[in-house]
């Protein structure tokens, strides 16, 4: 969603979609530090054994903005400039390039596939998004539903 949609995240879900109170409680506990981040959502997902999309939907219904995408795609910086935190990688190792090209469909890769590849290659998630920027690959289907 764009910044124009801020504060109206719940509208992307069907009318009558209910808040999962257990997930909502976990989100509020994590937010005690002031903001809700992608890594906090991942922690909740693992701790509660629920899908990332369930955590994202609950955050949407609570009108909570998710910050600091672990791929560096959104929520970084200060104030209004909370945008991307990645630049195209100056070079992409051959093994990484091959793996990304194998994952890509119609010039795009998914968030979940990048997380899995990062684990498999033992690299930081943002290193893969920087490689995607360099290779011209779009990243789609955020696991939290933010894009």
**Phi, psi angles (nearest 5°) of residue 6:** -55, 135
What pTM does this model have? 0.87
Structure-block tokens of residue 92? 């992409």
More confident residue, 79 or 85: 85
52, 85, 48: which is closest to 69 by C-alpha?
Answer: 85
CA atoms within 13 A on the CB side of 66: 31
SS3 36: strand
45-71 residue pLDDT tens: 999 999 999 999 999 999 999 999 999
Parallel, antiparallel, or unpaired: how do β-strands 66-67 and 108-110 relate? unpaired
Binned at pLDDT 50, 70 and 90, residue 121 comes out as very high
If one counts every other C-beta atom within 10 angstroms of the C-beta of residue 3, the result is 11
Average pLDDT over residues 108-128: 97
Binned at pLDDT 50, 70 and 90, residue 80 comes out as low
């Amino acid at each position: 969603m764009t910044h124009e949609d801020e504060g109206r995240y719940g509208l992307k879900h069907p009318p009558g979609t209910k808040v999962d109170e257990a997930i909502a409680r976990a989100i509020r506990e994590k937010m005690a530090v002031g903001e809700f981040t992608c890594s906090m959502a991942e922690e909740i997902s693992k701790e509660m054994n629920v899908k990332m999309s369930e955590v994202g939907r609950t955050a949407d219904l609570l009108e909570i903005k998710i910050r600091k995408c672990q791929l560096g795609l959104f929520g970084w910086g200060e104030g209004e400039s909370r945008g991307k935190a990645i630049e195209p990688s100056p070079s992409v190792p051959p093994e990484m390039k091959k793996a990304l090209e194998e994952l890509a469909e119609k010039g795009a890769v998914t968030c979940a596939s990048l997380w899995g590849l990062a684990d498999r290659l033992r690299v930081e998630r943002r290193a893969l998004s920087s490689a995607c920027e360099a290779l011209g690959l779009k990243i789609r289907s955020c696991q939290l539903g933010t894009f």
